[in-house]
């Protein structure tokens, strides 16, 4: 085997130091947990990738990781797209999307970390960087927060230099509660900070239209996942009537929704999730298709990867920031003045701390 062949592949669980119960319009989440992949090449080079697991389907995802591990061992780390094709071919019978796509994605990301290290470059330099930073917004605003917790979070973001913040909508108490929280946020951050709202697919068309109509008074920048992600006709009608930008894409494992919504002119911002799309190539392929339709890219959650990738494309709208992994990695992403600056070190530029990890044994 060559020095760039994968000799070992391990998986670990980790919990955020900021772990707490949170809730959006569709889920109650008891803790903030991750799965991390660490591969080792024949020459000793390592590569890491992680996914946000929360508490969902632990037995199923461990099985998916075991299946992907069997296909990764012995592969040349430089052939990431070939690895993707191999996985999709092997997994076609039961479906290459879903948990199997997540598992493929976390290994693909670790492969990119290792192959960039072999080249002595950062991932963005390896791909061809066009800028050194991208806009970033502070995310959270969970429906489980009290008013005081919401105010503390958003004012904390502003003190740190963030110029845009997002909150969850779709409260069980209804429209009045959503508008109360939006008004609280606007009062807390002032007139110059952009505000976005995210329904996590928790509204129907009528409810989304009512909320959009009332929320416009607070200067909402975009409305994220207002409807179920396959309600293409609903998105088209909402886009025609809402009077604000619509964003979605984080639940997609392929490019079907992007094509359908773009053809209907029902979308303003594309939100690729690097894990659900199976890794770096899937993310970049989706960004290229979005560009063909004039849709800027606004990726979901993974700022440590998304900031680097957004620096390689001409039409990145921004990246989402949570602090959840910062306490368990050695070099958190640098954020200053409302912008994210990916590391210049080889690979993705950060490593998980061993003390935070618990090995998954198969």
Tens-place pLDDT, residues 201-215: 999 999 999 999 999
Q: How confident is the model at residue 33 (pLDDT cuts 50, 70, 90)?
A: very high
Give the dihedral sign, CA 202/208/212/218.
negative
CATH code for 6-120+354-359? Answer: 3.30.390.10
CB of 69 closer than 8 Å to CB of 111: no
Residues 34, 276: Cα–Cα separation, whole Å:
15
Tokens 């592949």, residue located: 9
DSSP-assigned beta bridge partners for residue 151: none
- pLDDT tens for 344-354 read 999 999 999 99
Residue 27 known to be catalytic:
no
- pLDDT tens for 294-335 read 999 999 999 999 999 999 999 999 999 999 999 999 999 999
The Cβ of residue 228 has, within 10 Å, a number of other Cβ atoms equal to: 17
**Whole-model pTM?**
0.96
Q: How confident is the model at residue 279 (pLDDT cuts 50, 70, 90)?
A: very high
Residues 223, 197: Cα–Cα separation, whole Å:
5
Write out the CATH class of domain 126-341.
alpha beta
Kindly report the average pLDDT of the chain as a whole number: 96
Q: What's the rounded mean pLDDT across residues 269-279?
A: 98
Q: How confident is the model at residue 1 (pLDDT cuts 50, 70, 90)?
A: confident
Q: Give 7: exposed, middle or buried? Use CB within 10 Å, 0-12, 13-18, 19+.
A: middle
Where b means 16+ CB within 10 Å and e means fewer, 144-172 reads ebeeeebbebbbebbeeebbbbbbbbbbe
Tokens at 85, concatenated: 């094709």
- pLDDT tens for 116-132 read 999 999 999 999 999 99
Domain locations along the chain: 6-120+354-359, 126-341
Residues 165, 230: Cα–Cα separation, whole Å:
26
Rounded to the nearest 5°, which phi and psi values hold at 98? Answer: 75, -145
């Amino acid at each position: 085997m060559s020095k760039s062949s994968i000799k070992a592949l391990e998986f670990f669980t980790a919990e955020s130091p900021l772990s707490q119960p949170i809730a959006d319009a569709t889920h109650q989440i008891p803790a903030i947990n991750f799965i991390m992949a660490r591969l080792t090449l024949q020459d000793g080079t390592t590569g890491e990738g992680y996914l946000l697991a929360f508490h969902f389907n632990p037995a199923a995802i461990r099985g998916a990781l075991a299946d992907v591990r069997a296909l990764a061992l012995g592969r040349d780390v430089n052939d990431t797209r070939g690895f993707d094709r191999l996985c999709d071919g092997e997994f076609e019978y039961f479906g290459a999307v879903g948990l199997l796509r997540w598992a493929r994605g976390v290994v693909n990301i670790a492969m990119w970390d290792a192959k960039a290290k072999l080249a002595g470059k950062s991932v963005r330099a390896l791909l061809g960087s066009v800028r050194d930073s991208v806009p970033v917004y502070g995310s959270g605003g969970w429906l489980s927060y009290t008013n005081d917790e919401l105010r503390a979070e958003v004012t904390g973001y502003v003190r740190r230099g963030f110029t845009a913040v997002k909150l969850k909508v779709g409260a069980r108490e209804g429209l009045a509660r959503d508008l109360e929280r939006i008004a609280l946020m606007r009062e807390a951050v002032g007139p110059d900070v952009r505000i976005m709202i995210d329904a996590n697919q928790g509204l129907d068309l009528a409810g989304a239209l009512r909320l959009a109509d009332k929320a416009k008074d607070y200067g909402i920048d975009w409305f994220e996942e207002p409807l179920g992600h396959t309600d293409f006709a609903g998105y088209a009608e909402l886009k025609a009537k809402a009077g604000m930008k619509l964003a979605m894409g984080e639940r997609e494992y392929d490019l079907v929704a992007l094509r359908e919504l773009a053809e209907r002119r029902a979308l303003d911002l594309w939100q690729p999730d690097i894990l659900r799309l199976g890794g770096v190539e899937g993310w970049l392929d989706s960004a290229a298709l979005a560009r063909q339709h004039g849709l800027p890219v606004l990726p979901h959650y993974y700022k440590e990867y998304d900031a680097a990738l957004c620096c390689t494309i001409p039409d990145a709208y921004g990246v989402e920031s949570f602090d959840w992994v910062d306490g368990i990695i050695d070099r958190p992403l640098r954020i200053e003045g409302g912008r994210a600056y990916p590391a210049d070190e080889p690979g993705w530029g950060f490593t998980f701390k061993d003390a935070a990890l618990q090995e998954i044994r198969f």
